């Protein structure tokens, strides 16, 4: 039970920080719990990164102290700035919130059941994410050895938010216990289900919002990935949070939602290299939407402020990717390489494989239902207020295909068979949110 | 607008929701069956993690940064690739130098123990620890 303490500390810190962000009037309690927890776990990861930068190693005393300071500061701020009774919106909890949380918990049971079969997670958990976590936790000042070229099989160039969170969760003891990454994996999946449900419910106001996470976790392949301890889970969660928060801003015009969007994109950029690409594409698209299509929702000064916040949130990830990351030893530029040039058949292989992947039975018909849903929605599929979601997803997929085509280091069919499904997984929660929203009336019609 | 109104007024959405309900129901039935089978199999074949074999070496190798790792297994095959990856995880923050016998300590993880012992003699090392599973930790003399 002692290993639950870092988790609870992160969750509590995240909830209080988010409550302060929405200081004047709190958001719905269920959303506060779910989004606060999502932000809290990564806030702890960021504190581990700050410890590595400040002290050259992970320092548990510093981490516990900063968490204590954040918690104390947060509680004092709430006590000073919020009238009694509004600090934590416990009175506003509705029956549907309890029902949603119980449903989300129930959906996590198969994930826990599967995770217990493979307590060390999937291949990349051993070879990359948990390995980096061990270097951070056990390596002391030698943690940078995780960038050693001898470890080229372990994606040494990837950012390491997930390993940092795992290292924090181990900080209560002296050994890296397997239960913490397993719990984190299940927690992220729980939070993804909760975020999807409560965003869909907030944005549609419909009872059938409850179907959204049910559909997600009815797919056994997703249950397998959800218990894999991969960073793709975090990427999927923060993409969903960023897009959902942006839509909440559209609905309520509360600027704090834009903060949550920017923070989520910043966190996403530190999950994986793909997360950085997706964060940049999302940031650019959302800025265009705010500046051009939703001009009336945000004054010019507000837009500049949003861009500045985005810049601040994305800068650490960009600095890491551009200047600090070790050179990737698994990259050959096929456009300039004479030994391993890229080719048209490689592109054809990528496109054919992607098509086959989308109709693979392992997805339980998800992509075919998505196609059917968008056809059934007809012109609503292209409604302007939601069009930014398919735009972001399409641009990202073009970028992914581009990387598969240009980087000729790996044999393409093997590479696609081991990585494409995870890339698609991270997009699914947002795709479900979009599908549930396109059938609704546009904000103008309301 | 309640669900009955949606069914009456928005047939495309009703069809879409029906599809999701059917797909989810099928998914949960299939998932339950698969998980039950997996748990039944796990009762016969308990979970093993190759990296656990190496945890006992941590104390001996506490001050090392690198460890030579010699194996006659083809780590390009999934089984042996997984074993190597799990060994690296079990020994981290030590870095395994695959194929190298020039480090002070080298771990021999061989299918053919006799050939392995010959190799140890060739490089002028002596066995320091031999595990029940046949892993040999050597030190250069």
Average pLDDT over every residue of B77-83: 89
* DSSP conformational letter for B97: E
Contacts with A376 from chain B: Cβ below 8 Å: 12-13, 15-16
| pLDDT computed for residue A45 by the predictor | 95
Q: What is the pLDDT of residue A77?
A: 93
Cβ-based contacts of B15 with chain A (< 8 Å): 376
**Does B92 contact A134 at a Cβ distance shorter than 8 Å?**
yes
Please tell me the predicted confidence (pLDDT) of residue A138. 93
Would an 8 Å CB–CB cutoff place A103 in contact with chain B?
Answer: no
Contact residues on chain B for A127, CB-CB shorter than 8 A: 85, 88-89
For residue A254, what are the contacts with CB-CB under 8 A and spacing of at least 6? A22, A248
Assess B24–A contact: CB distance below 8 Å, yes or no. yes
- Quick one: pLDDT at residue B56? 76
- Chain A residue closest to B46 (CA)? A117
Q: Does B126 touch chain A (CB under 8 A)?
A: no
Q: Is residue B36 scored above 90 in pLDDT?
A: yes
pLDDT for the residue A323: 82
Closest CA to A35 of A212, A315, A242: A242
Question: B20 CB near a chain A CB, below 8 Å?
Answer: yes
Task: Report the C-alpha gap between A99 and A95 in whole angstroms.
Answer: 6
Predicted pLDDT at B12: 87
* Cα(A434)–Cα(A46) distance, integer angstroms: 30
Domain extents for chain B? 10-44, 50-140
* Average pLDDT per 10 consecutive residues for chain A, totaling 446 residues: 91 94 85 95 95 94 96 93 78 88 96 94 92 94 92 89 96 92 96 96 91 96 94 96 96 92 95 94 95 87 92 89 83 91 95 96 96 91 91 97 95 94 96 94 63
Mutual orientation of helices A232-252 and A412-438 as an angle, nearest 10°?
20
ipTM of this predicted complex?
Answer: 0.89
Average pLDDT on B33-51 reads 90
Selecting from B38, B47, B88 the residue whose C-beta is nearest the C-beta of A119 gives B47
The minimum CA-CA distance between B95 and chain A, rounded to whole Å, is 7
pLDDT attached to residue A102: 96
Q: Number of helices (H) and strands (E), helices first, in chain B? A: 4, 5
Residue of B nearest to A131 (CA): B89
Distance of alpha carbon A342 from alpha carbon A411, whole angstroms? 11
Q: Would you call B56 helix, strand, or coil by DSSP?
A: helix
The structure tokens listed for A419 are 């990585």
Helix intervals (H) in A205-299:
211-216, 220-226, 232-252, 256-269, 273-288
Residues of chain A contacting B38 with CB distance shorter than 8 Å: 114, 117
CA–CA separation, A51 and A348 (whole Å): 46
Within an 8 Å CB–CB cutoff, is residue A131 touching chain B?
Answer: yes
Residue A95 is inside which H or E element, if any? helix A95-117
C-beta atoms of B31 and A110 within 8 A: yes
Min mean pLDDT across A56-65, B21-30, B97-106 is at B97-106
Minimum-distance CB partner of A131 among B15, B20, B89: B89
DSSP letter string, A311-379:
HHHHHHHHHIIIIISPPPTT--BTTT-SSS---HHHHHHHHHHHHHHHT-GGGTTHHHHHHHHHHHHGG
């Amino acid at each position: 039970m002692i290993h639950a303490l870092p988790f609870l500390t992160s969750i509590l810190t995240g909830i209080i920080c988010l409550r302060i962000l929405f200081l004047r009037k709190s958001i719905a309690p269920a959303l506060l719990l779910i989004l606060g927890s999502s932000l809290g776990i990564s806030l702890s990861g960021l504190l581990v990164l700050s410890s590595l930068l400040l002290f050259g190693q992970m320092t548990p005393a510093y981490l516990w102290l900063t968490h204590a300071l954040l918690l104390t500061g947060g509680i004092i701020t709430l006590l000073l700035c919020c009238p009694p009774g509004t600090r934590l919106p416990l009175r506003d909890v509705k029956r549907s919130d309890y029902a949603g949380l119980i449903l989300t918990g129930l959906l996590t049971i198969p994930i826990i059941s599967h995770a217990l079969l493979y307590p060390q997670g999937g291949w990349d958990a051993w070879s990359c994410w948990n390995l980096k976590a061990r270097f951070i936790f056990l390596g002391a000042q030698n943690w940078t050895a995780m960038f050693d070229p001898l470890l080229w099989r372990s994606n040494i160039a990837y950012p390491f938010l997930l390993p940092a969170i795992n290292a924090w969760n181990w900080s209560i003891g002296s050994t890296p216990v397997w239960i913490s990454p397993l719990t984190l994996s299940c927690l992220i999946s729980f939070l993804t289900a909760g975020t999807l449900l409560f965003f869909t419910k907030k944005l549609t106001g419909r009872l059938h919002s409850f179907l959204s996470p049910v559909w997600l976790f009815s797919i056994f392949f997703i249950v397998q990935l959800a218990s894999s301890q991969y960073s793709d889970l975090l990427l999927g969660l923060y993409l969903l949070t960023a897009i959902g928060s942006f839509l909440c801003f559209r609905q309520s015009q509360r600027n704090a939602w834009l903060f949550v969007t920017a923070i989520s994109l910043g966190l996403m950029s530190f999950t994986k290299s793909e997360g950085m690409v997706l964060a940049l594409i999302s940031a650019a698209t959302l800025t265009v939407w705010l500046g051009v299509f939703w001009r009336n929702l945000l004054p010019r000064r507000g837009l500049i402020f949003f861009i500045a916040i985005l810049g601040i949130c994305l800068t650490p990830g960009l600095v890491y990717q551009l200047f600090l990351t070790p050179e990737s030893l698994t990259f050959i530029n096929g456009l300039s390489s004479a030994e391993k040039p890229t080719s048209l058949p490689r592109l054809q292989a990528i496109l054919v494989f992607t098509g086959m992947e989308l109709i693979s039975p392992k997805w339980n018909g998800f992509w075919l239902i998505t196609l059917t849903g968008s056809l059934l929605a007809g012109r609503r599929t292209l409604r302007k207020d939601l069009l930014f979601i398919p735009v972001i997803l399409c641009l990202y997929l073009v970028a992914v295909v581009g990387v598969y085509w240009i980087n000729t280091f790996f044999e393409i069919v093997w590479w696609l068979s081991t990585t494409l499904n995870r890339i698609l997984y991270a997009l699914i929660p947002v795709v479900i949110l979009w599908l549930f929203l396109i059938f609704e009336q546009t904000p103008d019609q309301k | 607008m309640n669900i009955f109104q949606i069914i009456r007024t928005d047939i495309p959405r009703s069809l879409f929701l029906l599809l999701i309900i059917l797909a989810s129901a099928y998914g949960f039935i299939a998932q339950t069956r698969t998980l039950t089978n997996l748990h039944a199999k796990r009762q016969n074949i308990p979970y093993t993690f190759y990296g656990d074999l190496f945890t006992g070496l941590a104390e001996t190798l506490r001050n090392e940064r690198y460890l030579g790792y010699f194996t006659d297994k083809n780590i390009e095959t999934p089984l042996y690739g997984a074993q190597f990856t799990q060994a690296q995880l079990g020994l981290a923050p030590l870095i395994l130098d695959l194929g190298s016998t020039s480090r002070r300590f080298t771990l021999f993880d061989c299918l053919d123990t006799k050939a392995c012992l010959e190799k140890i003699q060739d490089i002028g090392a002596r066995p320091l620890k031999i595990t029940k599973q046949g892993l040999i930790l050597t030190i250069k003399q």
